[in-house]
């Protein structure tokens, strides 16, 4: 059964606009790195909206925010939705945010209709889905699901050597211990994340809704190289141990590992390449690389991972450069819950909105929520499949469709 719901698209657009303005960089660029001033202001903005919507708020020790609409039957496990509001450097305004502000609009639409949930509905705003500060994505959902232990989280360091404890304290979250973040595995009846596709398929096929069946397997490596610095004019070429050149060869080996996998689904990127000292007349002595490698299949991802990991010592030995190689995360893919997928598909059918089952090549907090409860995602198209860029765009109508599907699905599951 469908509820006669109305989505307030202009109000949602205003809120998307307002949150996009909370950024470390001028418009249209959105940058909100974990626990930066912009991230903290973004959190305040969302917290205020949750309060205005009459939700009951809790924040945990890593800053995950839980906003509850209590159901009439407190014995039923809640149904959850949500996403993230942090944004990588030079990002757009929709990644993650559509699943937070869109979910709030879904709740408001249900409230406007007079819907009274039997099962509690909870909005979760996850901390640091993006890996920018510590090199590891989904910090909040990893801790919450037990995929990352508090001990490992406490050992994380940013490029300046600062710890998570340092940043947590700075952000005002240092009261309770990280041990308290983990949730029970029967805590939620389900989790449904609304998100832009971040790929081109829905737009290309003119399908308004994607329903996610599986999420690809991500991994991240950090490579630190130490060569020998010196004067760019006086150290002759045979004497050099240039860390940048070793790093450049590593980056090429990363590309080769993906190309050689034999599968178009293997993708690898060296997205961080820091050089010290970074002066034109100085030989680079230190390099810091971060490498992102993913695949829909674990076996091909792991084969490419082994290729990269064996290329690094070979390159460094040949160039007389010391190296430290660290696996920041090596995750399995997630399968979504078939019953939840079917529920979302049924809602789309009732709404006469064409829908397509898909695999998510991007990772999401859903990858980790799937470890503790039945999970799926609702995708909407984005222009040209563009994401992680300031020109990321989904139209108000595309967003409205996604919010409507989410609202109807939540209503079905909470009624
Ligand atoms: C998420 O932002 C990802 O990189 O897939
Ligand atoms: Mn992202
Ligand atoms: Mn995202």
Q: How confident is the model over 380-408, as pLDDT tens digits?
A: 999 999 999 999 999 999 999 999 999 99
CA distance 353 to 356: 10
Strands (E), 277-395: 282-283, 286-295, 322-330, 334-335, 355-360, 375-380
pLDDT at position 175: 82
Percentage helix, strand, coil for the chain under 3-state DSSP, each rounded to 5: 35, 25, 40
Q: Which residues of the chain have pLDDT under 70?
A: none
CA distance 89 to 182: 29
- Rounded to the nearest whole angstrom, what is the distance from the C-alpha of residue 220 to the centroid of ligand 1? 11
Residues near ion ligand 3 (CB < 5 Å) are 95-96
362 lines ligand 1 (CB under 6 A): yes
**Mutation pick for ligand 1 pocket among 137, 220, 385 (CB with most ligand atoms within 8 Å):** 137
CA distances 8 to 35, 170, 224, 323, 353, Å, are: 30, 36, 49, 54, 19
293 lines ligand 1 (CB under 6 A): no
**Mutation pick for ligand 1 pocket among 388, 389, 392 (CB with most ligand atoms within 8 Å):** 388
Q: What is the number of the ligand 1 atom nearest to the C-alpha of 88?
A: 2
Q: What is the number of the ligand 1 atom nearest to the C-alpha of 363?
A: 5
- Rounded to the nearest whole angstrom, what is the distance from the C-alpha of residue 199 to the centroid of ligand 3? 12
- Rounded to the nearest whole angstrom, what is the distance from the C-alpha of residue 298 to the centroid of ligand 2? 21
363 lines ligand 1 (CB under 6 A): yes
Q: What is the number of the ligand 1 atom nearest to the C-alpha of 364?
A: 1
193 lines ligand 1 (CB under 6 A): no
Contact 378, 402 (CB under 8 A): yes
Tokens of 324: 């430290």
- Sheet of 286-295: strand order equals 267-276, 286-295, 217-226, 322-330
CA distance 213 to 169: 38
Residue nearest to atom 2 of ligand 1 (CA): 130
Q: Is this model's pTM higher than 0.85 or not?
A: yes
130 lines ligand 1 (CB under 6 A): yes
pLDDT at position 176: 87
Q: What are phi and psi of 104, to 5 degrees?
A: -65, -40
- Rounded to the nearest whole angstrom, what is the distance from the C-alpha of residue 141 to the centroid of ligand 3? 12
pLDDT at position 160: 93
Q: What is the number of the ligand 1 atom nearest to the C-alpha of 218?
A: 5
CA distance 344 to 337: 11
Residues near ion ligand 2 (CB < 5 Å) are 95
Q: Is 221 left (phi over 0), alpha (psi -120 to 50) or beta?
A: beta
CB atoms within 10 A of CB 2: 11
Residue nearest to atom 5 of ligand 1 (CA): 362
CA distance 415 to 410: 8
pLDDT digits (tens, 9 = 90+) for 185-219: 889 999 999 999 999 999 999 999 999 999 999 99
pLDDT at position 241: 98
């Amino acid at each position: 059964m469908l509820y006669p719901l109305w989505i307030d698209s202009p109000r949602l657009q205003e809120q998307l606009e307002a949150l996009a303005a909370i950024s470390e960089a001028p418009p249209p660029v959105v940058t909100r790195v974990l626990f930066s001033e912009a991230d903290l202001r973004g959190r305040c903005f969302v917290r205020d909206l949750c309060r205005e919507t009459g939700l009951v708020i809790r924040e945990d020790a890593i800053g995950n925010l839980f906003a509850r609409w209590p159901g009439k039957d407190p014995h039923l496990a809640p149904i959850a939705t949500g996403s993230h509001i942090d944004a990588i450097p030079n990002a757009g305004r929709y990644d993650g945010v559509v699943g937070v502000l869109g979910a709030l609009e879904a709740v408001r639409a249900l409230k406007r209709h007079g819907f009274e949930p039997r099962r509690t509905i909870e909005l979760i705003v996850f901390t640091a889905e993006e890996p920018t500060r510590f090199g590891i994505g989904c910090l909040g959902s990893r801790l919450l699901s037990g995929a990352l232990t508090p001990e490992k989280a406490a050992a994380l360091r940013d490029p300046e050597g600062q710890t998570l404890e340092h940043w947590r304290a700075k952000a005002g979250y240092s009261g309770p211990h990280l041990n308290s973040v983990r949730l029970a595995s029967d805590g939620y009846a389900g989790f449904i994340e609304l998100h832009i596709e971040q790929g081109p398929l829905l737009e290309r096929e003119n399908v308004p809704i994607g329903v996610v069946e599986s999420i690809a397997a991500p991994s991240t490596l950090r490579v630190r190289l130490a060569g020998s610095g010196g004067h760019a004019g006086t150290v002759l070429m045979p004497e050099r141990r240039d860390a940048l050149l070793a790093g450049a060869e590593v980056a090429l080996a990363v590309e080769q590992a993906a190309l050689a996998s034999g599968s178009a689904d293997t993708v690898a990127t060296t997205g961080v390449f820091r050089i010290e000292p970074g002066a034109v007349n100085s030989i680079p002595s230190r390099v810091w690389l971060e490498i992102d490698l993913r695949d829909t299949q674990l076996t091909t991802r792991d084969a490419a991972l082994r290729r990269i990991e064996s290329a690094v010592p070979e390159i460094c030995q040949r160039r007389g450069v010391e190296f430290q190689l660290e696996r920041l995360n090596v995750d399995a893919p997630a399968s979504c819950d078939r019953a939840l997928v079917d529920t979302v598909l049924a809602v789309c059918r009732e709404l006469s909105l064409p829908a397509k089952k898909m695999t998510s090549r991007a990772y999401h907090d859903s990858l980790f929520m799937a470890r503790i409860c039945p999970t799926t995602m609702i995708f909407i198209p984005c222009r040209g499949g563009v994401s992680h860029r300031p020109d990321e765009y989904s139209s108000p109508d595309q967003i409205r469709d996604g919010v409507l599907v989410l609202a109807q699905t939540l209503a079905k599951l909470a009624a």
